[in-house]
Structure 1
Amino acid sequence: MKTKAVRLYGKEDLRLEEFELPAITADEILAKVVSDSICMSSYKAAKQATDHKRVPNDIAENPIIIGHEFSGELVEIGENWKHKFKAGQKFSIQPAIYYEEGPVGVLSAPGYSYQFIGGDATYVIIPKDVLVQDCLLAYDGPGFYPASLAEPLSCVIGAMHANYHTTPGSYIHNMEIVADGKMAILAGVGPMGLAAINYVIHRADRKPKLCVVTDIDQTRLDRAASIYTVAEAAQRGIELVYLNTKIEDPVAELKRLSGGTGYDDVFVFAPVAPVIEQGDAILAFDGCLNFFAGPSDQNLQAKMNFYNVHYAYTHIVGTSGGNTDDMKEAIDVMTAGLDPAGLVTHIGGLNAVAETTLHLPNIPGGKKLIYTHLEMPLTAIADFAEKGKTEPLFAKLAEICDRHQGLWSVEAEEYLLAN
C-alpha cells in the first residue's frame, strides 16, 4: 500500500513524499486517514526536531509522519485485533501513549515518534503500542472532523478534571472544578480556549455559575461571543462574560465581575508571564490556577503571590493533554451533539501541511483542518465567498457555511469530499 505523507527529517525540514508502507502484522491495523487538524504542538516538533522529547534522534534516516489530531476509516485489521475492530469503522486516536523502556515508561506519540503513523498522511499503520493501550477509539458520530478535534477537546476536558480543591482539616484533594463556582478562562478565544468554552457550556454533569473569558483582541472576542453566546450559556445556568483586558486595570475589573471574591478555577491559555500573574492575582480562597498553555521557552517564569499560597491556599497545576478516558468523553459528548466546528477557521489539502505547520503562529484564526486525500491550498472559511466568484466549489461551500452561522459543518465536509 502506497501512502503520501508529510515527514519530518530535521529542524524545519518537512517533506511531502510518497512511499510504500510495509505489510501489517497480526498486531497492527491499516487505516485510511481522512482529516487531520494541525496543532501548535506539531509546529513545536517541527521547529525543535530531535530536541523535542517525543521525537526520535534518528529522524534524518528514519523520518516520522507528523500530525496527531486525526480521524479516518479502518481498512485492514491484523489477526489479533479482529475481535475488537472491523474494516470500515471510523476512528479517532488518543496520541499520548507510553511504552516500556527499562524501569521507566517513555512518552511516545503518533505524529511525533513513528515512521508509519501520523495524521498528515493518506494511509497509516496503527501500531501495537496504540492498540494494547486502548488508544484506538471507534467513532460513531457524524462526519470526520469532530473525531479529529476529539484530541484537542480531550485536552481541555483533562484540564477541567485535573483542577483540584482542598478539604479543610484534611489532606484530601477534591479533583475537578468547583460545581456552581466561578471560573476565568484567560487569553481564552484561541482554538483551545474556544474548545474550553464549548465544553463548559455543554457539559452535563458539572458547570460553573460564572465564566469570564478574556482576550486583548476584540475581533476574536466578538467571534467567540457569536458562536458561544451569552444567551445560550444563560439557558444552561451559566453567566458568561467576554472581557477585553486591554484596559487600565484588568485585575480590578476581573475581581469586580467575580463579586470581589476572585475565581475558584482559573485557566491560562497563553504562555505569557503577565497573563499568568493576572491569573494568580484573581484566585479566590482555595483557588486553582491551571497553566494550560505549553511554552516553547524552557525558562519561562512568572511571579506568584506566596502569601496567598500560605494563607489563602491558592495553588497551581499544569496540564498538557488528555488521557484515554478524556478522549472517550470527548467522543461521547460529540456523539451526543457537541459540535466543535467553531474551532475551525481554515481548510486545506495535504499539499498545504508543511508550509502551514512551519508558519502556524503567524496564520490568524483557529484550527487549520486538513483533508489528506485532497490537493487544496489552505483557505480561510471567511474567504470562501470571494474565491467562489471564480471557483464553483468554493461558491457552494460558502453557501453551505452561511447556513451554519459561517462555520464548517458535516454538510460542508461531505460536499467537499464528494466534489
Structure 2
Amino acid sequence: MKTKAIRLYGKKDLRMEEFELPQIQDNEILAKVVSDSLCMSSYKASSQGADHKRIPNDVAQNPIIIGHEFAGELVQVGTKWAHKFKAGDKFSIQPALNYENGPVGILSAPGYSYPYIGGDATYVIIPNEVMEQDCLLAYNGEGYYPASLAEPLSCVIGAMHANYHLTPGSYVHKMEIVDKGKMAILAGVGPMGLAAINYVLRREERHPSLCIVTDVDQTRLDRAAKLYPVEFAATKGIDLRYINTSNMTNPAEELRAITGGSGYNDVFVFAPVKPVVEQADAILAFDGCLNFFAGPGDPKFSAMFNFYNVHYSYTHVVGTSGGNKDDMVEALDLMSKGLDPAGLVTHIGGLDAVIDATNHLPEIPGGKKLIYTHIKMPLTPIAEFEEKGKNDPLLAKLSDICKKNGGLWSVEAESYLLAHYDKQ
C-alpha cells in the first residue's frame, strides 16, 4: 500500500513524499486518514526537530509522519485485533500513549515519534501499542472533522479535570474546578480557548457560576460571543462575559473587582505570555488554582509568582500537556450528544497545504486549520470562500453551504468537499 505523507527530517524540514508502507503485522492495523487539524504543537515539533522531547534523535535518517489530530476509517485489521475492530470502522486516536517502550520512551506519540503513523498522510499503520493502551477509539458520529477535533477538545477536558482545590484542615486535594465557582479564561478566544468555552457551556455535571473570557483582540472576542452567546450560557446558570483587557488601565485589579474582590477559583492561561501569567496569579482567590495550559516554545520561559499568597492564601499552579484516553472518550461522547466543534475551524486545505501552514502557523490568523489529506487544495479561510468563489464554482458551492450553517464548517460541507475536489 502506497501512502503520501508529510515527513519531518529536522528543524523546519518537512517534505511531502510518497512511499510504500510495509505489510502490516498481525498486531497492527492499516487505516485511511481522512482529516487532520493542525496544532501549534506540530509547529513546535517542526521548529525544534530532534531537540523536541517527542521527536527521535535519528529523525534525519528515519523521518516521522507529522500530525496528531486525525480521524479516518480502518482498512485492514490484524488478527490480534479482529475481535475488537473491523474494516470500515471510523476512528479517532488519543496520541498521548504514555507507553514506556515507544521510540522515545513514555513521551512517544503518533504524529511525533513514528515512521508510519501521523495525521498528515493518506494511509498509516497503527502500531500495536496504540491498541494495547486503548488509544484507538471508535467514532460513531457523522462526518470526520468532529473526531479530528476530539483531540484538542480532550486537552481542555484534561485541563479542567487536572485543577485541584484543598479540603480545609487536611491535606486532601479535591480534583476538578470548583462547581458554581468563579472561572477566568485568559487569552481565551484562540482555538483552544474556544474549545474550553464550548466545553464549559456543554458540560452537564459541573460548571462555574461566573466565567470571564479575556483577550486584546475585539474582533476575535466578538466572534467568540457570536459562537457561544452569553444568553445561551445564562440558560446553563453561567454568567459569561467577554472582556477586552486592552481597554483596562489595571486589568488584574479590574478583573478582580468583577468578583467583588474575592478573586477567581480557577484561572486558565491560554497564551505563554509573561504578563498574562502574572495577571492570572494576581486574580487568584483563596485556594485558587492557576492552570498554565499553553505550552511555551522557549525552554527558559518564566514569570513572577506571588509566593506570599502560596503560603498564606494556598494559591497553586498546575500544567497539563494534552488529555488522556478518558478525556478523549468524554470528548467523543459529548460530540455524539450534540457538541459541534465547527466553531473552532476557520481554514480548510489539502495535504499540499500542510508544510507551509505548519511552518508558519503562528503567523496565520484565525482558529483551527483543517486538512483533508486525500484532496489538493490551498489553505483557504472559510471567510474568503464567497469572494474566491466568484472564480471557482466549487468554492462558491462551499460558501453557500457554510452560509446555510451560520458561516461555519459542517458535515454537509465536508461531504461536498470530499466528493468534488481533486484527489491527491
Matching residue of 1:391? 392
1:98 Cα deviation (Å)?
2.7
Matching residue of 2:231? 231
Query: Conserved in 1, the CA contact under 8 Å of 2:213 and 2:243?
Result: yes
1:120 and 1:305 mapped to 2: Cα distance?
43
The worse-fitting range, judged by mean Cα deviation, of 298-307 and 280-289 is: 298-307
- What amino acid does structure 2 have at the position aligned with 1:199? Y
- What amino acid does structure 2 have at the position aligned with 1:46? S
SS at match of 1:333: helix
Q: Deviations over 1:241-268 (max 9, x none)?
A: 0000112111122112122211000000
- What amino acid does structure 1 have at the position aligned with 2:323? G
SS at match of 1:99: coil
- What amino acid does structure 2 have at the position aligned with 1:378? L
Query: Conserved in 1, the CA contact under 8 Å of 2:99 and 2:133?
Result: no
- What amino acid does structure 1 have at the position aligned with 2:279? Q
Matching residue of 2:89? 89
Q: Deviations over 1:171-204 (max 9, x none)?
A: 1000000000000000000000000000000001
Matching residue of 2:132? 132
SS at match of 1:100: coil
1:231 and 1:410 mapped to 2: Cα distance?
26
Matching residue of 1:24? 24
Matching residue of 2:275? 274
Query: Conserved in 1, the CA contact under 8 Å of 2:77 and 2:86?
Result: yes
Structure 1 runs of 4+ off > 6 angstroms?
none
2:253 and 2:92 mapped to 1: Cα distance?
43
Matching residue of 2:141? 141
1:257 and 1:337 mapped to 2: Cα distance?
32
- What amino acid does structure 2 have at the position aligned with 1:300? F
Quick check: 1:336 aligned with 2:370?
no
Matching residue of 1:205? 205
- What amino acid does structure 2 have at the position aligned with 1:207? H
How is 1:225-304 mapped onto 2 (pairs within 5 angstroms)?
225-246=225-246, 247-304=248-305
1:404 Cα deviation (Å)?
1.2
2:82 and 2:259 mapped to 1: Cα distance?
54
How is 1:288-327 mapped onto 2 (pairs within 5 angstroms)?
288-327=289-328
Matching residue of 1:418? 419
1:399 and 1:253 mapped to 2: Cα distance?
43
1:24 Cα deviation (Å)?
0.4
SS at match of 1:211: strand
Q: Deviations over 1:203-258 (max 9, x none)?
A: 01101000000000111101101101101111111110000011211112211212
Could you tell me which runs of 5 or more consecutive residues in structure 1 were left unpaired when the two chains were aligned. Answer: none
TM-score between the two structures when normalised by the length of structure 2 = 0.97
Q: Percent identity over the alignment?
A: 74
1:105 Cα deviation (Å)?
5.2
Judging changes above 3 Å, is the alpha-carbon distance between structure 1 residues 65 and 376 closer, same or farther for their aligned structure 2 residues? Answer: same
Q: Deviations over 1:128-166 (max 9, x none)?
A: 111100000000011100000000000000000000000
- What amino acid does structure 2 have at the position aligned with 1:416? L
SS at match of 1:108: coil
Could you tell me which runs of 5 or more consecutive residues in structure 2 were left unpaired when the two chains were aligned. Answer: none
1:318 and 1:228 mapped to 2: Cα distance?
26
1:106 Cα deviation (Å)?
2.1
Matching residue of 1:374? 375
Matching residue of 2:61? 61
2:16 and 2:259 mapped to 1: Cα distance?
50
Query: Conserved in 1, the CA contact under 8 Å of 2:73 and 2:90?
Result: yes
2:357 and 2:285 mapped to 1: Cα distance?
40
